[in-house]
Amino acid sequence: MKSEQQYFEEGKSIQAYMDEMSTLKEESFAVYEQFQLPEDGLVDKLKQHSLHFLTITEDWCGDAMMINPVIRKLAEAAHIDMRVTLRDADTDLIDRHLTNGGRAIPMILILNEQGELVGKWGPRAPEVQQMVDELRATLPDKEDPSFAEKQKEVFGTLRKSYVEDKSLWSYVYESFKGRVLEVI
C-alpha cells in the first residue's frame, strides 16, 4: 500500500492539473484569478513550517472547482508544494479518507517535512455544507420523475454560487486556516 507521501511524489502540481482541466476549467480559473488572500498572518506562519499539500480531486467536481484555487493561492503565497492525485484513478487513497462513508472530494491532505500525514481538510467548509444541504432538501424523492431535472438545476445553482459568491471562498479559506493552525 502506497503512503500519502508516495501519492504526493507521484502527483502533478496543482498548476499543471488546473492547466490540463477538461471540465470546469474556466470557472476554476475565475475563482483563482479573483480570490484575494486575507492579510491575516497565515502565510507567514506557514512559511515557518515545512508542509506540503496533496489534494484528492477530479476536474468534474464543483466543490473542487472552487476549493482547489483557494488553497492553491495560499500554497503559492506560503511557498508550499501542492500536488494533485485523482480520486478515480486509484481509490485506495480516498478510501482511507472517507467522509461519512463516501468518497467526497476534494480532500486536502496536509503532510509534514517527513511526509507524514498531520492533518486533512475537506470536502467543504461548514457554511458551504449548510448551503448544499438546504438546496438538496428542496429536491423531490429520487423516484420522482422530475428528480434528475431538479438535481441538475441544484448543481447549476451551486456552480454559479461557487464562481460568483466570494463569501463562499472566504468560508473555505477560514475553515482550512483553522485546520492548518491546529497542526502547526
pLDDT, tens digit, for every residue of 26-61?
999 999 999 999 999 999 999 999 999 999 999 999
CA atoms of 3 and 54, how far apart (whole Å): 12
Instruction: Count the helix, strand and coil residues of the chain and give each as a percent rounded to the nearest 5.
Output: 55, 15, 30
Would you state the pLDDT for residue 114? 97
Nearest residue to 88 (alpha-carbon basis) of 161, 158, 23: 23
Question: Under DSSP, is residue 173 helix (H, G, I), strand (E, B) or coil?
Answer: helix
Contact 173, 42 (CB under 8 A): no
Long-range contacts of 150-157 (CB under 8 A, 24+ apart): 155/62
125-180 pLDDT, tens digit per residue, is 999 999 999 999 999 999 999 999 999 999 999 999 999 999 999 999 999 999 99
Nearest residue to 169 (alpha-carbon basis) of 35, 19, 11: 35
Q: Give the chain's mean pLDDT.
A: 98
CA angle centred on 52, ends 46 and 54, rounded to 5°: 130
Question: Per the confidence metrics, is the pTM higher than 0.95?
Answer: yes
6-16 pLDDT, tens digit per residue, is 999 999 999 99
Question: Residue 53 is inside which H or E element, if any?
Answer: strand 52-57
Contact 105, 56 (CB under 8 A): yes
Nearest residue to 116 (alpha-carbon basis) of 66, 54, 169: 54
CATH number of 4-183: 3.40.30.10
